């Protein structure tokens, strides 16, 4: 089994213009987003290993918040996940795969998690 490194940012909420129904369009909806990024680790992480040997976790959160284009309406949350994945691939050539989980909070009736998980590998 090959070594792997997974960086994760989980369960943060971002308001995004998304949806296909008339009551959804024009108003941002809260989405709960989790991101996992697969990278090859270096041979050894010593106590003084610099951040450049890995990736800043805040870059993951940025891809799902500030990097989403303002004013753009995503009909499907799959498109939101795809945009996040592509942003991370462009941001860092060391990323091998990205998994984005999105839960639409506004449609839950009894606290259930309704949404998608998209995994993309670098092509």
d(CA 69, CA 4): 31
Q: Which domains are seen in the chain, by residue range?
A: 5-41+53-121 (3.30.1130.10)
3-class DSSP state of 63: helix
Q: What is the pTM of this model?
A: 0.93
> By mean pLDDT, which of 21-30, 39-48, 92-101 is the weakest?
21-30
Q: Got the DSSP string for 27-81?
A: SEEEEEEEEEEEEPPPS---TT--GGGS--HHHHHHHTTTTSPTT--BSSHHHHH
- What are the tens digits of pLDDT across the range 30-57? 999 999 999 999 999 999 999 999 999 9
DSSP 67: T
């Amino acid at each position: 089994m090959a070594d792997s490194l997974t960086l994760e940012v989980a369960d943060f909420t971002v308001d995004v213009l998304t949806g296909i129904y008339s009551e959804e369009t024009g108003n941002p909806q809260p989405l709960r987003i989790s991101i996992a990024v697969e990278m090859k680790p270096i041979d050894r992480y010593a106590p003084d290993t610099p951040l450049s040997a890995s990736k800043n976790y805040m870059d993951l959160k940025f891809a799902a918040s500030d990097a989403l284009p303002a004013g753009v309406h995503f009909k499907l949350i799959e498109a939101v996940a795809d945009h996040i994945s592509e942003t991370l691939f462009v941001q860092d050539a060391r990323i091998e795969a990205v998994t984005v989980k999105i839960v639409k909070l506004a449609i839950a009736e009894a606290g259930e998690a309704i949404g998608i998980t998209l995994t993309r590998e670098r092509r």
